[in-house]
Amino acid sequence: MDPLTTTPTSASSSSSSSSNTTLLPALPPSLIPATWHTTVRRVPLSTVPAAALSLAHAFATDPYARYLVDHDHTPESESLWSLHLALTTSFVAAHCLSGLATTIGPASDCVALWLPPGSSLSSPLTLLRSGLWTARFRLSGEGRRRYFDEIGPLLRATKKEVLGGREGEAWYLVYLGTRPESRGRGYAGRLVGEVVRLADRAGQPIYLESSSRANDAYYAQFGFEIKKEIFLTRGREPVRLAVMVREPGAGEGRRGVGDEKEGAE
């Protein structure tokens, strides 16, 4: 039987007190650490599936994510979701291995994937262990052309152009996403804020590509500025990405704590 707490609502006799007593079930103890609701933590390889599921839900309607997997505008396809989740799982695993993957929330509700200065996902061991090497076989012919021939070269060239000689000094926010039902709790702001503090202490810029105008405004609260707009053009309609950079110390005193989804390559 669950334990009960009694809350007397009257100081009268025991009989009347009994009739006015509210019985409330006490919350049972949980194996989920209470600190997970408020503390930023690294994503270990053992929880990659949970983190990937949250990120996949966050990007389910994102134009960039759909551009990569949905070439025929197929509505509500299980195969598209499976492909989206498989690719997201590989991305999360790769960042656990060779970058930085952080999360917050009891169910890894919000996830950020970062490439710290000088890091890369291109090592053969990372590609093998994360499963990223399977992208060539999972994607359709058009998907491979979009990812390997268009998206990858464009994002790499743009990053080099915008950052110039500072490319090796910059943090790169690759993905940031919150489960739809967990938004509005300040999770995303906490994840961004952790790296903002690290970058500020080291005097390093932060680089990202934003896939929606709403996210442009969100990142502006942290001091990010749009440096360039690029477009993916192999679909029916072009997909816009805003290239944004935050300089060290920018945006102090006006950071937001809302939750948005964001990401790129």
pLDDT in tens, 90-109: 999 999 999 999 999 999 99
Q: Please report the pLDDT score of residue 83 as a whole number.
A: 94
According to DSSP, the residues that pair with 207 across neighbouring strands are: 172, 245
Q: What share of the chain is helix, strand, coil (3-state, %, to 5)?
A: 45, 20, 35
Q: What percent of the chain has pLDDT over 90?
A: 75
Mean pLDDT of all residues in 191-211: 97
Q: Please report the pLDDT score of residue 134 as a whole number.
A: 96
* Structural domain span for residue 156: 32-263
- Sequence length of the chain is 265
Q: Is the pLDDT of residue 162 over 90?
A: yes
79 with 109, same domain: the answer is yes
96 with 4, same domain: the answer is no
20 with 122, same domain: the answer is no
Tokens (6 digits) for 3:
């334990």
Q: What are the residues whose beta carbons fall under 8 Å from the beta carbon of 31, sequence distance 6 or more?
A: none
pTM for the whole structure:
0.84
pLDDT in tens, 21-47: 666 666 677 777 777 777 999 999 999
Asked whether the beta carbons of 226 and 243 are under 8 A apart, the reply is yes
56 with 121, same domain: the answer is yes
- Domains in the chain, number: 2
